[in-house]
Amino acid sequence: MNKWKKVQDLLEGERLAEDIADGKRVLFKKGEVLDKLRIDALLKMGIERVYVEAVDFYEYKDSDLEKRDIKLLLNHEIVEYAKKKIKNVIENVKKEEEFDPKVIEELSENIFEGIVLNYKENVFLNLIKLKSYDEYTFTHQFNVTVLSTLVSLELGLDKDIVKKISFSSLIHDIGKLKIPLKILKASRSLTPQEFEIIKLHPVIGKKIALNSGVIDESILSCILHHHERMNGSGYPEKLRGEDIDLFARIVAVADVYDALTSERPYKSAWNPYEAMSNLIQSVDIFDSKVMNALIRVFGIYPPGTRFLLSNGERCVVIGTKKGKVFRPVVLSDNGEIIDLSKRKDLKIIKVG
């Protein structure tokens, strides 16, 4: 179902569902794909709302997207929008120990739409990596949401379920806002007592969500159980296997992957390949179906992995086409984009 949307909330890649005219002159035609230039032009003309085609994952998944321009999975505008909204939520939780669920619902909807628009073309997927501590809470919540949403789509879950998982991801670590900064920012190994305090954040997070009016059991379970592990080694309840809600099993994988690849006060960031290898080897810890979905989305060599090719060129992975998990798309140091799924003559010699 098509819908009216504020111009300021438009995403690059969306399509117009009707002509936009100035009197008899058509300015933008129905079906036209909106890019940054067109969106800026609409804003300058003072147009407040436009009628756009509804984003439907199941329609996009089956359509021929290969002819469309490849775009960033999520554009700069939605990142800045998300940053502002998440910071507002953080401030509310710090002051009042609650947040407005409608804000999270709207934000998760926008992130979901941005991902679905380019789901089949996530060759240029780039998770944001900001180094400062002040930005970590935002970037981690955002990245975990992107990863969890992609994995959920890859698992073929109903889109309403995927949206709930996006919602859960955005607030999965909300309880950490009540953990003392001196513990969160510690540049040393935590004492056993400090780690016990850290382990309280899922319980605190569920309480904050309940205080805020969140009643969905799967969302609450995700907040409480995203540190549970399939072998019972997690916390706070040491649940095992499918006793852990699917939402939590998905967010657990996304949470650990992003944490491993992020710079923290107490550790250096792992490269994406090391992080993926670590997850793959943790067969008894994470849900194998979720892990396989992550591999199908990212490939064995996630974006950001550097390696040496058999022709002597050094490259960085910028993505993986669906079904080509061992043959990523790379950007060479001389600026050439190489699709290894089409270049059987080239081999990966060394990672790192």
What CATH architecture is 76-297? Orthogonal Bundle (1.10)
**Of 78-92, 109-123, 172-186, minimum mean pLDDT range:** 109-123
What CATH architecture is 3-54? Alpha-Beta Complex (3.90)
Q: Are 82 and 142 in contact (CB under 8 A)?
A: yes
Phi and psi angles of residue 4, each rounded to the nearest 5 degrees, phi first: -80, 140
- Amino acid, res. 132: S
Question: For residue range 288-331, what is the model confidence (pLDDT) as tens digits?
Answer: 999 999 988 888 888 888 889 999 999 888 777 777 888 888 88
pLDDT at 145: 92
Give the ranges where 124-245 is alpha helix by DSSP (H): 133-154, 159-171, 181-184, 192-198, 201-211, 217-225
Question: Percentage of the chain surpassing pLDDT 70?
Answer: 86
Question: For residue range 43-79, what is the model confidence (pLDDT) as tens digits?
Answer: 878 888 888 876 443 333 333 323 233 233 455 566 7
Res 285 pLDDT > 50: yes
Reading the block at residue 60, the tokens are 């996009």
Task: Taking residues 123-132, report their average pLDDT.
Answer: 44
Reading the block at residue 228, the tokens are 């549970």
Q: What is the distance in angstroms between the CA of the first residue and the CA of the last residue of the chain?
A: 46
Res 146 pLDDT > 60: yes
Res 267 pLDDT > 90: no
Give the ranges where the chain is alpha helix by DSSP (H): 36-44, 57-62, 76-96, 101-117, 133-154, 159-171, 181-184, 192-198, 201-211, 217-225, 246-260, 272-281, 288-298
